[in-house]
Structure 1
Amino acid sequence: MTFLNFALQAAPVTDTIANAAAAAATTEVSVTENVSYLDFILKGGVMIYPLIVLLFFCIYVIIERYLSIKKATKMDSNMVNDVKIQLRAGRLDNAIMLAGRENTAAGNILKSGVSIIGRPISEIESVMEKTTDVEVAQMEKGLGYLGLISGIAPILGFIGTISGVIKIFHTISNTGNLNIQTISGGLYEKMISSGAGLVVGVIAYCAYHLFNMLIDNFALKVQKQSLEIIHVIQDPQNGN
């Protein structure tokens, strides 16, 4: 009977301990799950802040350049044919008006050549080439920032990681407390800085080269259109 009473009294205590352990585990999981991505990133150290600034500036440049390049590289498939028709008919004013109606880079390049018809062909070609260079330079304006960010962001992240590792080993040398938990915890936090730098650098690098590809494709198309106009100017009746 005594043993039975003891077992009955111990059972609630055991249940209480089990419930407390389960509650503690649940609380720990809840705390882990509630850690926000921002808090996790900010553990990367002081270099995270300039990287965040670079990220937002990079996104701003990407959006601004995309909208600007998209507008500038807009090409009307019928514009060249319309200009060629007007030139063959001898209606120079109409050709100039058609070339400038869209206010795009391609239109400005054609307009620069059509507007000086009557001068030597070499001069017309030179003017159109110079106008192309100006328009391309306008499109490339600001892309240097993306190239700069793609270079310095990974370096800033690496500097943040190195400085964090230096602090870890400096603390160990002063306290003499060496354990794997301290080292691994400090290292994973400092590696966040390198990861963030690489992410920002990759975004800027990809955007930089993508925009340059778009600009190169535009320049090639404009050169083809310019040659068509030059052929019409040289031989209005048979130009293609």
Structure 2
Amino acid sequence: MLIADTAKQVIDTANHAINAPTIPQEELRFGDLLLKGGWVMIPLGILLALALVMFFERYFTIRKAARDESSLMGQVKASIIAGKLDSAIALCRNSNTPLGRMLQKGLLRIGRPIKDIEGAIENIGKLEVSKLEKNIGIIGIVAGIAPMFGFIGTIAGVIKIFYDISKTDNISMGTISGGLYQKMITSAAGLIVGIIAYVCYQILNMMVDKVILKLETDAIEFIDLLEEPSK
């Protein structure tokens, strides 16, 4: 009889568990997940927006400077060979490009020693490169400090966990979940923002290096062209 009663209780418990209404799982949206990161997500969002704005502004500027100027170089070379110095200067002025401004400075120094012309071109080249590198350093700063903000969020999350435990005197998943959310979300967000900014920073640096190499090559070709008559 005892065994039969025990079996009946087990069956009743199983039937109750099967027939019990299921609690619908709350779907966690991406926006709600970000909000659980707390106030640290605000500066991280600002840093991400700043890095992206700076990246696209510099990207299109450097891309414009990196366009192929072989036609300009050919026209300037033809004008110099033909003895039309004023025409060559006008071509460089109208191009409104880093290479054009470098060649224009060199053309205006024709008649002086080659060393003076090289120095003038080099100085203009440095100025043009500094213009291209403007604000790139800000993206590098974002790449460095974004993970630090994530670490601050981690510390804030740990503090929240201990504060909630001390307030409720209850160590349960419900008590510590809020701090864990903040801890993990801010850490991940800081790393993601830092990685994005770092990649953008490296892309822009590679683009600038490519422009520098092209400007140096064209400058050498221009100096060689000026030295030809004296050889």
Residue 63 of structure 2 corresponds to: 70
**Cα distance in 1, alignment partners of residues 198 and 218 from structure 2:** 31
User: 1:175 Cα shift?
Assistant: 3.1
Share of identical aligned residues, percent?
44
**Cα distance in 2, alignment partners of residues 133 and 38 from structure 1:** 46
Amino acid in structure 2 at the alignment position of 1:45: G
1:190-205 aligned at under 5 Å gives the runs 190-205=183-198
1:208 aligns with 2:192: no
User: 1:138 Cα shift?
Assistant: 0.5
**Cα distance in 1, alignment partners of residues 154 and 218 from structure 2:** 52
Structure 1 residue runs of 5 or longer lacking an equivalent are 1-13
**Cα distance in 1, alignment partners of residues 67 and 99 from structure 2:** 8
Residue 80 of structure 1 corresponds to: 73
Secondary structure of 1:90's counterpart equals coil
**Cα distance in 2, alignment partners of residues 152 and 221 from structure 1:** 33
User: 1:43 Cα shift?
Assistant: 0.5
Contact 1:83 1:98 (8 Å CA) reproduced: yes
Within the candidate set 77, 91, 100, 1:98 is matched to 91
TM-score where L is the length of structure 2: 0.85
User: 1:180 Cα shift?
Assistant: 4.3
1:22-41 aligned at under 5 Å gives the runs 22=22, 24-25=23-24, 28=25, 31-32=26-27, 35-41=28-34
Contact 1:105 1:135 (8 Å CA) reproduced: yes
**Cα distance in 1, alignment partners of residues 100 and 83 from structure 2:** 19
**Cα distance in 1, alignment partners of residues 175 and 43 from structure 2:** 26
Secondary structure of 1:235's counterpart equals helix
Structure 2 residue runs of 5 or longer lacking an equivalent are 1-14
1:108 aligns with 2:101: yes
**Cα distance in 1, alignment partners of residues 92 and 200 from structure 2:** 31
Secondary structure of 1:119's counterpart equals coil
**Cα distance in 2, alignment partners of residues 75 and 97 from structure 1:** 19
CA gap of 1:101–1:75, structure 2 versus 1, over 3 A, is: farther
User: 1:184 Cα shift?
Assistant: 5.0
**Cα distance in 2, alignment partners of residues 192 and 40 from structure 1:** 8
**Cα distance in 1, alignment partners of residues 41 and 33 from structure 2:** 11
Residue 148 of structure 1 corresponds to: 141
RMSD: 2.1
1:227 aligns with 2:223: no
Residue 126 of structure 2 corresponds to: 133
User: 1:150 Cα shift?
Assistant: 0.6
TM-score where L is the length of structure 1: 0.82
